[in-house]
Structure 1
């Protein structure tokens, strides 16, 4: 009997000891990415204006611009706060103004600056493929996607479709892909802000119309100016 009781005691002791033994928690090893990039999708909303405008030129209503695309980030310093980026995107630009474009009896294009009382509606819109190339500064880290940024660069654009629509109350003139439009556009831009919200400004250096386009004997030298917000999404 003593032998039996001794065996039972030893079994109970070792069983209790085994239950009290706690295995150490194995935590996964987290690797820190020291080679992160700020590759980003972007989306912009702007108010569209013109510079170098003809005499008596005016805009009316809200001229909306939309753009979107993707930028590839290429850091140039060890802390990865300075980078160069290039990308590809699409833009839609819409303008309400009083520069009218109509077609004459012989098929020629006639340009004019008219009072708003002389027509029902007048608008110009264009669609383009964009190639932005920018120099970037930010105080980002691999741990956070919220940071201050200043991005500046040059945007090259190709207008693949354009249309002007004039309704003078009697007839509607719709001019598609006007040969007088400079299809290649370029200009500098600046984007600055914090996290997702950023101010955006683009100034076109190339005239919207080619050098042969005139109004009252003078060259139309209008250039685009877009101001608004741009959003970056990782």
Structure 2
């Protein structure tokens, strides 16, 4: 997590410096807001089957650029469309392995299993689309905001890691993940600090991923903080 906090400190410092510099410039009647974003989340799994549980701390790091397009004369209502990157991990007790023909198999680790780590990772390119309301003005840099929207993502890399007995297991680019991910988003807060929520509308795994004869229909839920920079 250290590198995440370093990035936050740099961006927040940049925001403060930019705000101070902006006060001595002429008022921009065609201003835009919140062009860059950085988010840190705690990742949850929704719609879990019986006995599938999370353990440890599952994290997400999200950053990118959004083109802010004001829709009214006061420029406090806008549409945002952007491009970003999302890096996610999920610690849980779902073991991903392979059988002899090479197909992935799924089972649950129980209390008798000896292991120190079991997680999967997903890194995505994302397209956020937001409807934005805020209390900003051309001269006010601290304001309330509520941004609701939709986020479309495409998995570019994925991994699973198991560290335990009788042996450690690692797989790269798991084809049972749904490549296309999409969900609803909400950011709300004042000035620097904004609560963030993402709720996935489709499963993390494709129908090929089966646990005890049933499709694994878990979805991603992300709760955390979102930071914006001009």
Q: Same fold judged by TM-score > 0.5?
A: yes
User: Aligned ranges for residues 79-158 of structure 1 at < 5 Å?
Assistant: 79-120=74-115, 121-158=117-154
TM-score, normalized by length of structure 1? 0.85
- CA distance, structure 1, for counterparts of residue 61 and residue 213 of structure 2: 34
Q: Does the aligned pair in 1 maintain the 2:104–2:209 contact within 8 Å?
A: no
TM-aligned CA distance change 1:97 to 1:174, over 3 Å:
same
- Sort the Cα spacing of 1:144 and 1:224 in 2 relative to 1 into closer, same or farther, 3 A: same
Deviation at 1:32, TM superposition (A): 2.8
Is 1:60–2:71 an aligned residue pair?
A: no
State the Cα distance separating 1:39 from its structure 2 match. Answer: 4.3
Partner of 1:182: 178
How many angstroms does 1:170 deviate by? 1.9
Equivalent positions of 1:1-234 (< 5 A) are: 31-120=26-115, 121-234=117-230
Q: Distance in 1 between matches of 2:226 and 2:214?
A: 36
Q: Which runs of 5+ in 2 are unaligned?
A: 1-24
List gaps (5 residues or longer) in structure 1.
1-29
How many residue pairs get aligned? The number is 206
User: 1:209 aligns to what SS in structure 2?
Assistant: coil
Quick one: distance in 2 between partners of 1:129 and 1:211?
A: 22
Q: Is the 8 A contact 1:119 1:166 kept in 2?
A: no
Q: Is the 8 A contact 1:103 1:173 kept in 2?
A: no
TM-score between both structures, scaled by the size of structure 2: 0.86
Q: Give the 3-state SS of the residue equivalent to 2:206 in structure 1.
A: coil
Q: Is the 8 A contact 2:195 2:225 kept in 1?
A: yes
* Superposed CA RMSD: 1.5
Structure 1 runs of 4+ off > 6 angstroms? none
